[in-house]
Chain A
Amino acid sequence: MLVLPIFAQEADTIRSKYWPTGVRLGTDIFAIGRGFADVSLNGWEVNADVDLYRYYLAVDYGSWARALQSDTGNYSNNGNYWRAGVDVNFLLKDPDRNMFFIGARFGHSTFSEQLDVVTIDPVWGTQQGTYTNTNVNARWLELTSGLRVKMWKMIWMGYTIRYKFGLSHDATQAMEPHDVPGYGRTDKEAYWGFNYVVLVRIPFKNEKSVSLKK
């Protein structure tokens, strides 16, 4: 009977330790910037994460469309994607909640694409064709790392580096996808990605009662 209060106190500590203190909502300004710099790309991405002690549940949702032109054809695609996963913060004692993290994501994309092409083969001649993939589902995994730095009051900035791999999709037999929204080009086993995000942190009510110390 004497040890019960101690157990209750430990349970409260654990609960408060893993209780989320706030949610960060933001957008990828790198994706928006690329849209201005590269007329063939039009895309946006929004990001959110919520802290559970040193672990952050992270979710991204975005969209991109590409229109590319070669000497022999025109390619275009558009689609939406989401990623979900966990980041582990290694700057646990930082009073400003600055964050250096390593994490993992599962990514999913639904997209359509079309290729209009005139193939000129030196042996077999010339043939014109239109190939489409409609509502293709693609999945992949990511290893992530990056920083989040508090800039001013509720404003945070940071970047995420993504190592994307394990892409699979259910595209048709006729055309192999060129570019998967959220993933990138498909002709490599693995692909690098980069986000530069601006976030607004909305604290929860009980934030002051939660200790940042271990």
Chain B
Amino acid sequence: MAFEPLTYLYSPMKTVKGAGWFVFFLIIAISCVDTPDCFQLNNNLVQVAFKILGGASDQVPVIGIDAPGTDSVFYQYQKVSTVQLPLNPFENETTFNFHTFYNDNQMVLGYTYKIQFVSEECGERYIFSDLSIKSYDYDSVRFVGKTLTQPPSTNIEIYRCPRTNFTGVSFKKMSGTAKVQDTVLINAITPNFTAGITYPPGYYRSVDLPLNPNTATTSFTFEFGDGTTKVLTVGYTRSNWTKYQQFCGNKTLIYRLSISEQDFGPDKVKLALKGSTTQPADSIQDPPITNLEIFK
């Protein structure tokens, strides 16, 4: 050790005294600002991202996500690409039931947690760690990380096979000469084949409708809240699509959409345009784009 004496420090003890008081008040100041922030103390939110095989972000029309042990329903009637779900601080696992317009799925998550007293002002907090997926029934799930952070970051990615037969229908109305979004009350939408999808009664701005990949046309019966019933028949061209055949089996690509029949009235159903172009948006994409516009 080769410390040299600090000669400037001990000649005038005033310097030492001054430095001492400075440091003393510095410590007092630090201790004063050392009060904890009571906001969002727990790291109990697990973040789940929805993806389509191939990597694109999915927009999932969620009816609701529920879990045994609580009456809460999360993300009710929302279109989401990520969700943040609270883990149960009284158990070492939480089961989430995902109800969407397309299907129902379940995922069981395991984890450990500790309780910690934070302060008299904030009370206690729960510290979650070692997240794991105990079971799931999705096409594919990627576990990104077991660490739960605050604010949350993605822990789990849920992948599904591309859907190649959903057409987006948007409800519009004219305001003067401008075309604006409309909201309509719908009691039911029924396709002319078994699609396994139900549309609960409610107000809709847009819907994604399934086209039958085994036929060249599909008809839909709209039962509106005002008591009227309208039928729309959509025609299209089909071809085989084998990109994810290994995981998803054979898929049918649908394009060149057209309006075969409709009883909404003249010019009441139109093919939508691609952005600001004059090109019709007449092919199916995933997530669905708006292919058709209905002026109720």
Residues of A within 8 A of B (CB): 40, 54-55, 68-73, 75, 88, 90-94, 98, 100, 115, 117, 119, 121, 123-125, 127, 129, 131, 145, 147, 149, 159, 161, 173-178, 186-187, 192, 194
Contacts and interface: CB of A to CB of B under 8 A. Distances in A.
A98 B123 CA distance: 45
A9 to B, nearest CB: 23
B9 A124 contact: no
Contacts of B197: none
Contacts of B116: 175-178, 186-187
A113 B34 CA distance: 22
A57 to B, nearest CB: 14
Interface stretch (B83-91, B138-146, B154-162): B83-91
A197 to B, nearest CB: 13
Given A70-B119, A91-B5, A98-B16, A174 B114 contact: yes
A69 B118 CA distance: 11
Contact of B117 (A75, A90, A124): A75
> Closest 6 A-B residue pairs measured CB to CB?
A176-B116, A178-B117, A75-B117, A70-B123, A91-B10, A176-B114
Contact of A91 (B9, B118, B119): B9
Contact of B124 (A92, A115, A147): A115
Contacts of A178: 116-118
Contact of A98 (B3, B5, B13, B86): B13
Given A125-B70, A192-B31, A73 B117 contact: yes
B123 A194 contact: no
B86 A70 contact: no
B9 A90 contact: yes
A124 B112 CA distance: 16
Contacts of A174: 114-115
Interface stretch (B19-27, B165-173, B274-282): B19-27
Interface string B1-38: 10101110110010010001001100100110010100
A151 to B, nearest CB: 12
B114 A173 contact: yes
Contact of B70 (A94, A98, A117, A123): A123
B72 interface: yes
B2 to A, nearest CB: 11
Contact of A90 (B3, B13, B126): B3
29 contacts: A70-B119, A72-B123, A72-B124, A90-B3, A91-B5, A92-B5, A94-B10, A117-B123, A119-B115, A119-B124, A121-B89, A123-B86, A124-B86, A124-B89, A127-B89, A131-B115, A145-B23, A147-B16, A149-B16, A161-B23, A173-B114, A174-B114, A175-B115, A176-B115, A176-B116, A177-B116, A178-B118, A187-B36, A194-B24
Given A124-B90, A149-B13, A187-B118, 4 more contacts: A69-B120, A119-B124, A119-B126, A173-B114
A36 B127 CA distance: 33
A159 B20 contact: yes
For the residues of B in contact with A, the DSSP-based class is mixed
Contacts of A194: 24, 27, 31
A92 B166 CA distance: 84
Interface string B120-135: 1111101100000000
Nearest to A126: B90
B192 to A, nearest CB: 42
B13 to A, nearest CB: 7
B3 A88 contact: yes
A178 B127 CA distance: 12
B117 A100 contact: no
B296 to A, nearest CB: 39
A192 B19 CA distance: 18
A191 B94 CA distance: 35
Nearest to A69: B120
Contacts of A186: 116
B115 A90 contact: no
A47 B117 CA distance: 30
A55 B3 CA distance: 11
Nearest to B112: A173
A119 B127 CA distance: 14
Contacts of B7: 93
Contacts of A54: 3
B266 interface: no
Contact of A119 (B1, B10, B31, B89): B89
B55 interface: no
A70 B117 contact: yes
